Amino acid sequence: MKSTSTASAWRSNFMALIASLAVLLAGAVISAGLQLGMPDGPPLSARAYGVTGSVALARWHEALGFRVRLIEGRPFQLPAEARLLYVLQPNTRYEFTDDELEVLHEWVEAGGILVLAGEATVSYPVTRRGPTQYAALDESPIELFGFEMDIFNTSLLTATWTQPPAAPSPAQPFRWRRETDEYALALDLPDDAIIHALVDGEVIAASRQVGRGRVFVFAGTYPFTNDGLRNEANAQFILNLTALVPPNSLIAFDEFHHGARQTPSLLGWMFSAPAGLATALALALIGAYIAWTGRRFGRAFVPRELRIHREPSEYVLALANLSRAAGQRNAALLRYHAWLKRKLARPYRLDPSMPDHHFVAALQRVGAPLDYERLARLLSDLQRGASSAAQFVRLAREVAEF
């Protein structure tokens, strides 16, 4: 019977293990599908790992000792402590509102350094993580500061420095475009703008002072991309910009106008982040195991009419019957022996743990009004134990009478 029960429990645990592995495999497949079907990120997003993403730019700034923060989630807010803000290829699908433009303008006037970079359209190439995406440029923040974009044709891929933003310009011209670009944008400048880079006589990088801050506008995004930063001259180009802000300062990236507008939630984290998917899978496995093994949450419910209320005497009788069935007469007599000595020793402050003959002699010395011979005999009988139930009852009665 025991072996049959053990085999049944082993089979049940084995089946629970198989079911858990099946749930784990299904969860892994679903998680992989969700991750592979999810786009890597919009063009120029600081979360995108593709060639037109800018995650390398954000990570590089962190490696240089700057603090990096991504601006996302409603509403659009600029950190007051940020010293440099990148707004790269703001998408027309998530264009700036008038209130957001006002916030941006006030932040620059207060001393912020704003970097605006955009092209007419940036495509996100097809990768294993999703289909091609396109981001058309929202020109409203560029126009807010007096710049305009014009289209011109050019076959050149590099630009020439005229006046670098800070620090010496690189020895070679920086790479400005990708080979896949068919046309380019140039800047129309306000009167007080400073030209920083030219290509074919057209301005592609300029800046102007706004209040206590400064705005840099670039008619091109390639130097800021993951692919563009692999070029040494482009890296120096970015270093020229970071030299304008103090070390360890906060650098922000505008992800809000790439579409990152969802308010963070536990449910969204659980079904998007790898750690959240792992947590959801672990919860599913725990639930499957509890359901399989038949465990319940909490104690079993017993209706009031079926609850039995026992009297205290029933517990006493049950304990007595249990002791009698276990044959523990001598153990009970030893408890009587110890109890009797404690009761007699307490009024005279004697040590009840001393040997019986010393204990009786101590009682005689203090003049206790007792039958010492009977007490000595009773203690000896209790120590010796009882050979029958009748002898046990007799000794217990004698202790009570004494």
Pick the range with the lowest mean pLDDT from 96-100, 106-110, 145-149, 368-372: 368-372
Distances 332 to 290, 315, 343, 381, 382 between C-alpha atoms, Å: 46, 17, 17, 13, 9
State the angle between helix axes of 372-384 and 356-365 in degrees (0 to 180), rounded to the nearest 10.
Answer: 160
| Per-residue pLDDT at 83 | 95
pLDDT tens digits, residue range 351-390? Answer: 888 898 888 888 888 888 888 888 888 888 888 877 777 7
What own/partner pairs with CB < 8 Å and gap ≥ 24 does 33-39 have? 34/271, 34/272, 34/277, 35/129, 35/274, 36/128, 36/129, 37/130, 38/129, 38/130, 38/272, 39/124, 39/129, 39/130, 39/131, 39/133
270 band by pLDDT with thresholds 50, 70 and 90: low
140 band by pLDDT with thresholds 50, 70 and 90: very high
What is the CATH topology of the domain spanning 55-265?
A: Rossmann fold (3.40.50)
| Per-residue pLDDT at 169 | 67
Domain locations in the chain as residue ranges:
2-37+272-293, 55-265, 311-401
pLDDT tens digits, residue range 59-84? Answer: 999 999 999 999 988 788 899 899 99
Dist CA 318 CA 100 (whole Å): 81
